[in-house]
Amino acid sequence: MSAIHILYGTETYNSESLAQRTSDALSQAGYSVEIWDMDDIEPEAFAQLGVVLLITSTFGDGEPPSNAQVLYDYLMAEERAQLTGLQFSVCGLGDTDYEHFCQCGKDFDARLHDLGGSRFAPRVDCDTDYEDTWEHWLETVLQGLPNTDIQLADYSVDMGASGVLDSVVDRHASGSLSGSNKPVASGVFRPSAPIGTRKNPYLATVLANTNLNHSASDKETRHIALNIEAAGIEYRAGDALGVFPRNCPDLVRRILKAVGIERDEAVRADDNWYTIRDMMLYRKDVMQIDRRLVELLSRHAVGDAFGALLNDKKALLDYCGQQHVIDLVEAARVRVPAQDFLATLRPLAPRLYSISSSPEAYPNEIHLTVNVLRYALHDSMRKGVASTFLAERTGPGVEVAVYLQRTRNFLLCADHVPIIMIGPGTGIAPFRAFLQEREARGASGQSWVFFGSLHQSMDFLYRDELLGWDRDGLIARLDLAWSRDQAHKVYVQHKMYENGAAFYRWLDAGAVVYVCGDKTKMAKDVHKTLLRIIQEFGGYSRDDAHAYVSQLESDGRYLRDVY
C-alpha cells in the first residue's frame, strides 16, 4: 500500500503552495499524502512512487525550475527504465506572456507517458491566475484517482509536509515568546543545504540604500548594496538574487486588530512555536486572499455575510483577485482563532532581483537596482512587499535573507563579441554588471546600450557611470529614450528603429542581443522592432525575418531576462 506522492518544481513558491493545498484537499478526502520537493527525490526511486501528482512551473526560456532540473534531466535522458507501474497527473504553472508556455509541465507529462506511465487525469496548463484551472485539475484528480493501491490516511500519524521536510532554521531567538524561534524568513529551511541557496539563505548585511531617481520624480529606484564577504557566494554577472522580504509591521498590526488576535499569541508551525506576529512578518503572504480565509470568516461571522460570495465561484475568484487581506478583514471585523487564521494565509514568496554588480569589480558585494512599487487600490495606497521592505526598512547594518539564483543562459559572451543591451528602467541592472565586467577585463568587443525611463533630468539611473563609460569608449553607442520629455512617447524600441541600419550591421557582424526588464510590454515591442529591423534593413521577408530571429535564439545570440 502506498501514499499519493505530490512532487513540486518551483522557483517562487507558487507550485509549492499549490502542492500543499492539493495535499490538504486529498488528506481531507481521506488519502495518505506525501509532499516532495523534486530535489529531494532520488531519480532512481521515481519509478517506485506508484501514484504521482506532479506540479511544476516553467522558468527561464521554457526550462524547468532549478529544483526540478535533476529529475528532469534524468527522465529525459535517452535510456530510461520503463515507468509501467506509475500512475500520474501533471499540473503545469506558467505564464502565457512567455513563448514556451508551461513547457516544463508539458515535457514531464509527455515523457512520463512515453515511458509507460498511466495518465489518470489530464494535464492542465495554468496561467498566472491559476486558481480556477488548478481547482478544475484537483476535481479531475479526485475523480480519477486509481483506487486500487492507495493507502487511506491513518490519522494518528502526522501527515504532509512536516513528515518530509526538516524544521525551520532557528538562527534568531525571539525574546517575545519563551522557548520560541523567530522565523528568519519565509520557507522551510535546511541548515544542511549550502549557504546562500534558497533552502539555506544567507543573512547579508546592507551596506547602502540610496535613491537613484531625483526626489521629485514619480519613480523611486533604490540602489541596494549588500555585503556577502563571509558567505562564500560566487556569483556571475547575469545572475539574480532571491530576497526573502518581511511584511510591513503596520499592515500586520492592522490585520491582527481586525481579526481580534493579540500579536504575541503563540502559534505552531513546523514543530516550533512562534508568535503570530512573527509568522505574519516573516513567513506569510498577508496580501493575497485565499478562499480559506473567506470560509473561516464565514464560519465565525454572525449571519450569512459571505454565503453569496462562497456560492459563486467566479465572483469569489474576482473578489480575491481585486482585494487584499486587509480589505476583507477590516470590512468583516470577525474574530477568529489565531491558529486557524494562520492556516488560511499562503507562504510569503521570495522575490528575485537581477544583480547589478560584477564580481570582478565587487567580489565581496552584491548590488541590486530595485523599483519601489506603490500604487492606489480602493482609494488607499498599497505597497509592494519586497521593494518597499528593501526601500523603507533596510539601511546600513540591517540583515536581509538572500540566496543566489544562477542564470542558465543570460551570461556575458566572449570578450571580443559585440553586444547590444536593451534595458530600460531596472532592466539596466544586469547591463551595469556586464559593463563593469568588460571594463575589469579590458574586453575588446564593442558594447551598445539602450536605456530609457520617464525624464532625463530625474530618472537617468546610474547616469554618471553610464556617461563615464560612454566617454571612455567602453560603451560604443548609448541611446536614451525619455518617454515624457516631449509630447509623444519615446521608448527604447523607437531608438532601435531610428538606428535600424546600424542595428542590423551589428547583428550581421555577430552581435549578441540582450533584453532585460518589463515582459508585458517592453519585451514584446522590442521583439517586434527586432523583426522589423531585420526585414527593412536586412531585406528579409516576414517569414525569413522570423527564421533569422529563431536562429539568433538557438545560437544564444538573443537572450532575454524579462519579468
Ligand X SMILES: Cc1cc2nc3c(=O)[nH]c(=O)nc-3n(C[C@H](O)[C@H](O)[C@H](O)COP(=O)(O)O)c2cc1C
Where does this chain bind ligand FAD (CB under 6 A)?
Answer: 240, 245, 287, 351-354, 369-371, 373, 375, 377, 384-387, 426, 429, 561, 563
Q: How far is the CB of 379 from ligand FAD (least distance, A)?
A: 12
- Of 62 and 85, the one with the shorter C-beta distance to ligand X is 62
Residue 101 interacting partner from ligand X, ligand FAD, none (CB closer than 5 to 8 Å by kind) = ligand X
Residue 62 interacting partner from ligand X, ligand FAD, none (CB closer than 5 to 8 Å by kind) = ligand X
Is residue 522 involved in binding ligand X (CB under 6 A)?
no
CA 262 to chain centre: 32
Instruction: Mark out the alpha helices in 354-491 (DSSP H runs).
Output: 385-393, 429-441, 456-459, 463-472
Residue 186 interacting partner from ligand FAD, ligand X, none (CB closer than 5 to 8 Å by kind) = none
Q: Looking only at residues 91 through 110 of this chain, which bind ligand X when binding is defined by CB under 6 A? A: 93-95, 98, 100-103
Residue 370 interacting partner from ligand X, ligand FAD, none (CB closer than 5 to 8 Å by kind) = ligand FAD
- With CB atoms as reference, the residue minimizing the distance to ligand FAD is 384
Task: Round to whole Å and give the CA distance between 376 and 330.
Answer: 17
Residue 93 interacting partner from ligand X, ligand FAD, none (CB closer than 5 to 8 Å by kind) = ligand X
Task: Round to whole Å and give the CA distance between 64 and 515.
Answer: 21
Q: How far is the CB of 17 from ligand X (least distance, A)?
A: 8
Give me 295's grid cell: 470560509
Residues in the chain: 563
CB 341 within 8 A of CB 267: no
Per DSSP (E only), the strands in 127-247 are 172-173, 181-182, 202-211, 221-227, 240-244
Residue 32 interacting partner from ligand X, ligand FAD, none (CB closer than 5 to 8 Å by kind) = none
Per DSSP, 281 falls in state I
Q: Dihedral sign, CA of 195, 196, 200, 206?
A: positive
User: How many C-beta atoms surround the C-beta of residue 377 within 10 A?
Assistant: 11
CB 268 within 8 A of CB 181: no
Q: How far is the CB of 33 from ligand FAD (least distance, A)?
A: 29
The H or E element spanning position 8 is: strand 4-9
- Of 61 and 439, the one with the shorter C-beta distance to ligand X is 61
Task: Round to whole Å and give the CA distance between 221 and 137.
Answer: 40
Task: Round to whole Å and give the CA distance between 197 and 234.
Answer: 11
Phi, psi (degrees; rounded to nearest 5) at 517: 130, -145
User: How many C-beta atoms surround the C-beta of residue 323 within 10 A?
Assistant: 16
User: How many C-beta atoms surround the C-beta of residue 44 within 10 A?
Assistant: 9
Residue 371 interacting partner from ligand X, ligand FAD, none (CB closer than 5 to 8 Å by kind) = ligand FAD
Q: How far is the CB of 292 from ligand FAD (least distance, A)?
A: 19
Residue 353 interacting partner from ligand FAD, ligand X, none (CB closer than 5 to 8 Å by kind) = ligand FAD
Give me 139's grid cell: 476535481
CA 182 to chain centre: 24
- With CB atoms as reference, the residue minimizing the distance to ligand X is 94
Give me 143's grid cell: 475523480
Is residue 62 involved in binding ligand X (CB under 6 A)?
yes
Residue 540 interacting partner from ligand X, ligand FAD, none (CB closer than 5 to 8 Å by kind) = none
Residue 88 interacting partner from ligand FAD, ligand X, none (CB closer than 5 to 8 Å by kind) = none
Residue 351 interacting partner from ligand X, ligand FAD, none (CB closer than 5 to 8 Å by kind) = ligand FAD
- Of 510 and 556, the one with the shorter C-beta distance to ligand X is 556
- Of 519 and 532, the one with the shorter C-beta distance to ligand X is 519
Q: How far is the CB of 441 from ligand X (least distance, A)?
A: 27
Q: Dihedral sign, CA of 494, 499, 500, 504?
A: negative
Q: How far is the CB of 426 from ligand FAD (least distance, A)?
A: 4
Q: How far is the CB of 185 from ligand X (least distance, A)?
A: 16
Nearest to 103 by CA among 68, 133, 144: 68
End-to-end CA distance of the chain: 44
Contact map string, positions 21 to 60, toward ligand X, x by CB under 6 A: ------------------------------------xxxx
Q: How far is the CB of 323 from ligand FAD (least distance, A)?
A: 11
Q: How far is the CB of 187 from ligand FAD (least distance, A)?
A: 15
- Of 106 and 495, the one with the shorter C-beta distance to ligand X is 106
Task: Round to whole Å and give the CA distance between 451 and 462.
Answer: 11
* DSSP bridge pairs for 202: 402
Point out which span in 88-96, 172-180, 271-279, 495-503 binds ligand X (CB under 6 A).
88-96
For ligand X, the binding residues (CB under 6 A) are 10-15, 57-62, 65, 93-95, 98, 100-103, 128, 563
